Amino acid sequence: MSGEISHTGIVKKLSENKIIVGIVNESACASCHAKGSCTAADMKDKEVEINQFNGEYHLGQRVTVIGKTSQGFKALFLGYLLPFIILLTILIITTSLRIPEGTGGLLALASLIPYYFVLYLVRNRIKRSFEFEIKPLE
């Protein structure tokens, strides 16, 4: 494993201090020979903001966006694993307190509201911790 994740994209917006690159995420079937049977829902457009770059780029240029694997794990942890741990913890606590299952389940789901609200409030700080490199496609 190289420790990097790379995606091909197209430069969508340029300014002096940042570049926005559009990346199309395709499901496995969308890039195979049977892609005619796949739906448009299998493809998702994402935008990546690159703040530090060397060289000159122009609109429409095909580039490679590179991120560290550790950033992927961090995103996975914040988006999926930590909320799951919170949900499971609340379910265990409510079960041990003999709170009815339905109420415990609703409390566990409701406990995610403050988590995602706090995540929303600190989104800019989190965004700064994700850094990507950009290279022209060869």
pLDDT tens profile 67-118: 888 888 898 999 999 999 999 999 999 999 999 999 999 999 999 999 999 9
- What's the whole-number mean pLDDT along residues 31-50? 65
The domain spans of the chain are: 4-31+39-136
Quote the pTM value: 0.66
Q: Give the Cβ contact number of residue 35 at 10 Å.
A: 14
Burial category of 81 from C-beta neighbours within 10 Å (exposed 0-12, middle 13-18, buried 19 and up): exposed
Half-sphere exposure of 104 (CA within 13 A, CB side): 14
Q: What is the pLDDT of residue 2?
A: 63
